[in-house]
Amino acid sequence: MSSKGLINLIPLAGKQLLRHRVRTLLTLLGIGAGIFLFTLVESMQGAVSAVTGAQASEATLVVFRENRYCPSTSRLPEYYAEEIAQIDGVREVIPIQITVNNCGASLDVVTFRGVPPELLHRYAPEIEVLEGSLSTWQKTDDGALVGKNLADRRGLKTGDSFAAAGVRVRINGIIESPNAQDNNVAYVHLPFLQQASQRGLGEVTQFNVRVEDPAMLDRVAEQIDDRFRSGESPTFTQPESAFFARAAQELIELTRFTRWIGLGAVIAVLGLVANAVLLVVRGRVRENAVLQTLGYPDRAIAWLVLLEGLILGLVGGLLGAGCAWLFLHFSHLSFGNEGQIMAITARLDLVLRGMGIALILGGVASLYPAWVSVRRPIVESLRS
Amino acid sequence: MKAEKNFPLVRCAGVAKRYRKGSLWVTPLESLDLEVPRGEFLALMGPSGSGKTTLLNLVSGIDSPSEGRIDIGDIAVHELSRRKLAAWRARHVGYIFQLYHLIPVLSAYENVELPLLPDGQSKRDRRERVEAALSLVGLADRMHHFPRELSGGQEQRVAIARALVADPELLVADEPTGDLDRESADSVLALLRNLAEEQQKTIIMVTHDPKAAAAADRLLHLEKGRLLEDQHVK
């Protein structure tokens, strides 16, 4: 059978699926639900990778209070910045105050990052102001630059004011950044946040320390912690990626568990397609025998069955992955723990992966029914 | 296939079919010899279980004999593999079923087009052949109708067009009028008669209906897998 012959059979397979519309629709809904779940789980995994992986190449250390995990309990004197800056290999020190409305695991975390206004462009150089103005923010004591995801999630726009975690701010701009964390926080002035969060001036949550050479990270971290070991607030310093990984440990474990949900969804789709196609084949034993009598080779019959599985997989995958994309795109979902935020974004590559998996599952699930459809002698099938 | 006149298209020599049913061996056909000249309309009659359909299935290549040889034209059909048999059937045999076996979600046109799809012919070539086949059976004006919109006789005509669309030399029909009223049956028989006379198609038809058998050139009576009587009708 030629490749043209294989192509000629595609419309026939599609029409065969329409013979049992309700059954086909229910199968598509089942596949769609499985792939929806799979795409969501993959998106969660992607969010974890974005947070824990993307930072690894940076030459940045995070200085946190020793034995503290939540930003609300990490309190360091702001003057530590000057002492850290004197350590050999340190290029820059940025004091940061972080205030979150919820330190536990949550799907709606609002995080304020207080940074010296003149240092924002160094702390987060990738950010782009989508609306509003950076200079207005720099001049406004209670101003905030709000990440796009946070703004979309809460329906915020420039000129609005909003309150969370006991802090009320005026929005001077909406920002976007390739760093997913930045899209889920509100940047405010450090002194303002120190006062608004009732910590008082002179106290910060952490320091972000840029070193001159990534090879110096460990040595500089050790020197920082040694310097304050016997001080009023001992520190724990580690590379930014390790800091994120530690802070997000619970989230990582949670998302690792969700892999099983994704796997379960995949197996469910496999079973669903196999069952649907097997039912089709068993209901069409005589009809397939008629086609064989008309001269259809076994390959053509098997291909027709395989096509039906592939079409179910493709359409169901499109339905599930498409719905997952729309859901993530409009829900601006993010989840956070101990101040770390992971934005679950709608990524086209994950949607395509979901569709691809569904297509492959459709094909794999149809292999056995395809074999069943051609193994019986024609005469026996015509009699059935 | 060679198109020599008077040279039999179908030749069966010592053909037998045996199969196991549970612990028993069943022999629906025993040591049958048969020749069917090109362009002949042959009717097979006999009681149920006499081996008529078995013979039809063997000649059409959807079953293989346990013994003997079957030659259709210059092809030794009994020696062909399953794959080669399928390719041979697609080109050289048209099968007409008692219950038409049309696919309900396909129009008359699409049903007739079915045998041409795996061949990879262009849409244009297929259209020409399908329209010609439907015209031949007098259903050119019903080509976009679905089976549920056609009468039994019209459905059988669509099935005949489907059997004809690849222009095979041999047509086999398993009780083609068995599910039709007298008027529709007569019309289908007239069509088969015409295909044998005008198109030189060789037709082998199984029937229980003496009136249908009367439309054939020759009538064979089978009983218990053996040929009882060979009778020229016309």
The strand pair at B24-37 and B41-45 is best described as unpaired
Would residue B76 count as lying in a domain? no
Residue A16 sits in the same domain as residue A71: no
Residue A9 sits in the same domain as residue A129: no
Residue A15 sits in the same domain as residue A94: no
Residue A26 sits in the same domain as residue A96: no
Q: What is the pLDDT of residue B72?
A: 94
Would residue A239 count as lying in a domain? no
Q: What is the pLDDT of residue B1?
A: 46
Question: What is the signed CA dihedral for B176, B180, B181, B183, rounded to 10 degrees?
Answer: -50
Question: What is the signed CA dihedral for A12, B168, B120, A18, rounded to 10 degrees?
Answer: 0
Q: CB contact, 8 Å: A293 with chain B?
A: yes
Residue A145 sits in the same domain as residue A289: no
Q: What's the sign of the alpha-carbon dihedral B183, B184, B185, B186?
A: positive
Q: CB contact, 8 Å: B57 with chain A?
A: yes
Residue A42 sits in the same domain as residue A145: no
Q: Would you call B152 exposed, middle or buried from its count of C-beta atoms within 10 A (0-12, 13-18, 19+)?
A: middle
> Among candidates A238, A215, A212, which has minimal Cα distance to A87?
A212
- For A88-109, the pLDDT digits (tens) are 999 889 898 888 877 666 667 7
> Among candidates B140, B136, B231, which has minimal Cα distance to B192?
B136
Residue A123 sits in the same domain as residue A158: yes
For the record, the structure tokens of B90 come out as 């697609």
Would residue B4 count as lying in a domain? no
Mean pLDDT of A158-184: 87
From chain B, pick out residues whose CB is under 8 angstroms from the CB of A374: none
Task: Name the domain boundary from A233, A263, A282.
Answer: A233
Residue A220 sits in the same domain as residue A356: no
Residue A107 sits in the same domain as residue A254: no
- For A119-144, the pLDDT digits (tens) are 888 878 888 999 998 999 999 999 99
Would residue A41 count as lying in a domain? yes
As a 3-state breakdown, chain B gives helix, strand, coil percent values, each rounded to 5, of 40, 30, 35
B87, B110, B114: residue with CB nearest A294? B114
> Among candidates A201, A202, A199, A170, which has minimal Cα distance to A186?
A170
* Closest B-chain CA to A2: B120
Residue keyed to tokens 């990490």: A74
Q: CB contact, 8 Å: A259 with chain B?
A: no
Would residue B160 count as lying in a domain? yes
Which B residues in the span 168-227 are in contact with A, Cβ-Cβ below 8 Å? none
Would residue A58 count as lying in a domain? no
CB contact under 8 A, A297 and B63: no
For the record, the structure tokens of B43 come out as 């009717």
How far apart are the C-alpha atoms of A76 and A66, rounded to whole Å? 10
How many domains does chain A fold into? 2
Mean pLDDT of A270-294: 90
- How does B110-129 read in b/e, with b if 16+ C-beta sit within 10 Å? bbbbbbbbbbebeeeebeeb
* A332 contacts: CB under 8 Å, gap ≥ 6: A149, A150, A152, A153, A343
For the record, the structure tokens of B69 come out as 């040889």
Would residue B103 count as lying in a domain? yes
Residue A194 sits in the same domain as residue A323: no
Q: CB contact, 8 Å: A39 with chain B?
A: no
**Range with lowest mean pLDDT among A8-12, A24-28, A149-153, A195-199:** A195-199
Where residue B224 sits, what CATH number does that domain have? 3.40.50.300
Nearest-Cα distance to chain A for B6, in Å, is 27
For the record, the structure tokens of B132 come out as 């010609």
Q: CB contact, 8 Å: A8 with chain B?
A: yes
Q: CB contact, 8 Å: A1 with chain B?
A: yes
Question: Which of A2, A6, A19, A290 should we substitute to test contact with B (largest number of B Cβ atoms within 10 Å)?
Answer: A290
Q: What's the sign of the alpha-carbon dihedral A354, A358, A360, A364?
A: positive
Residue A280 sits in the same domain as residue A180: no
Residue keyed to tokens 């399928």: B86
Would residue B126 count as lying in a domain? yes
Would residue B116 count as lying in a domain? yes
Mean pLDDT of A161-187: 87
How far apart are the C-alpha atoms of A262 and A353, rounded to whole Å? 13
**Range with lowest mean pLDDT among A26-35, A52-61, A171-180, B209-218:** A52-61
CA A178 and chain centroid, separation? 13
Would residue A124 count as lying in a domain? yes
Q: What is the pLDDT of residue A58?
A: 63
Write down the mean pLDDT value for chain A: 87
Looking at this predicted complex, what is its ipTM?
Answer: 0.91
| Residue A265 to residues A36, A37, A255, A330, B85, Cα–Cα distance (Å) | 9, 7, 15, 23, 43
How far apart are the C-alpha atoms of A288 and B97, rounded to whole Å? 14
Q: Would you call A296 exposed, middle or buried from its count of C-beta atoms within 10 A (0-12, 13-18, 19+)?
A: buried
Nearest-Cα distance to chain B for A251, in Å, is 52
Q: Look at chain B and count its residues.
A: 234
A1, A18, A378: residue with CB nearest B118? A1
How far apart are the C-alpha atoms of B8 and A50, rounded to whole Å? 78
The three-class DSSP label of residue A111 is strand
Helices (H), chain A: 3-8, 10-17, 21-53, 80-85, 120-123, 134-139, 148-154, 190-196, 217-228, 240-247, 249-283, 285-293, 298-331, 348-375, 378-383
Q: What is the pLDDT of residue B3?
A: 47
Q: CB contact, 8 Å: B89 with chain A?
A: yes
For the record, the structure tokens of B66 come out as 């346990």
Residue ranges of chain B whose pLDDT lies below 50: 1-3
CB contact under 8 A, A1 and B120: yes
* A121 contacts: CB under 8 Å, gap ≥ 6: A134
How far apart are the C-alpha atoms of A209 and A141, rounded to whole Å? 25
Would residue B118 count as lying in a domain? yes
How far apart are the C-alpha atoms of A368 and A178, rounded to whole Å? 45
**Phi then psi dihedrals of residue B14, to 5 deg:** 60, 35
From chain B, pick out residues whose CB is under 8 angstroms from the CB of A18: 105
CA A222 and chain centroid, separation? 33
Q: CB contact, 8 Å: B80 with chain A?
A: no
Q: CB contact, 8 Å: A376 with chain B?
A: no
- For B175-185, the pLDDT digits (tens) are 998 888 888 89
Residue A72 belongs to domain spanning: 67-233
Q: What is the pLDDT of residue A104?
A: 66
| Residue B189 to residues A294, B130, B137, B143, B178, Cα–Cα distance (Å) | 21, 21, 11, 21, 11
Q: What is the DSSP string of A189-238?
A: EHHHHHHHTTS-TTEESEEEEEES-GGGHHHHHHHHHHHHTTSSS-EEEE
How many domains does chain B fold into? 1
* Closest A-chain CA to B118: A5
Q: What is the pLDDT of residue B199?
A: 87
Would residue A164 count as lying in a domain? yes
Residue type, A296: Y
Nearest-Cα distance to chain A for B130, in Å, is 15
Q: What is the pLDDT of residue A339?
A: 64
B82, B95, B105: residue with CB nearest A293? B95
Would residue B158 count as lying in a domain? yes
Residue A111 sits in the same domain as residue A209: yes
- What totals of helices (H) and strands (E) does chain B contain, helices first? 7, 10
* Closest A-chain CA to B159: A294
* Closest B-chain CA to A286: B101
Residue B166 belongs to domain spanning: 37-63+81-232
CB contact under 8 A, B86 and A379: no
